[in-house]
Amino acid sequence: MELSSARFKALAVTAGFSLWFFIISSATGLFSFEVFTIFVAILISITQIFAFKLSKALDIFALINTKVFLGILFIFVVSLYGVFFKVLCIDLLRLKKQSSSYWLDIDKIKQSTIFKQY
């Protein structure tokens, strides 16, 4: 973001603010498309007008917003994997002995089936 123009930073910050506005208002049940449109229009106009004066602040906000969003996304993806593995009864570490396991048991392999390859 440091090499981007001030106007692009303003658009990126507007998109970030709009995303958080949408997430928070939807979570609280107060989302309205009309209010969202007005919020985005006011935010675009303010950030574009003051883009050059707020360039450093926009850069800092974009960095913080990216870290927070990616952190939440990482936590969400990891928890989805946990839920899917729990629902599908997948034991990645093979901590429990399962009869339907596709891993070979060393005790069940007979010596007569092992041949030297050299």
The pLDDT tens digits along the chain (118 residues) read 566 788 888 888 888 889 889 999 999 999 999 999 999 999 999 988 888 887 888 788 878 888 888 888 888 888 888 888 778 777 666 666 666 655 555 555 555 556 666 5
The alpha helices in the chain, defined as continuous H runs, are 6-28, 33-49, 55-87
Residue 112 confidence (pLDDT): 57
Please give the Cα distance from 56 to 62 (Å, whole number).
10
21 inside domain? yes
pLDDT of residue 103: 56
| 73 part of a folded domain | yes
Residues 6+ apart with CB under 8 A from 69: 16, 19
Has residue 13 been placed in a domain?
yes
Let me know if residue 54 belongs to a domain: yes
Is residue 102 a part of any domain in this protein?
no
Domain-embedded: residue 108? no
C-alpha torsion 53→57→63→65, nearest 10:
-110
Q: Global pTM?
A: 0.55
Q: Domain range spanning residue 49?
A: 6-87
pLDDT of residue 39: 94
116: in domain: no
- How many structural domains is the chain composed of? 1
Q: Does some domain include residue 103?
A: no
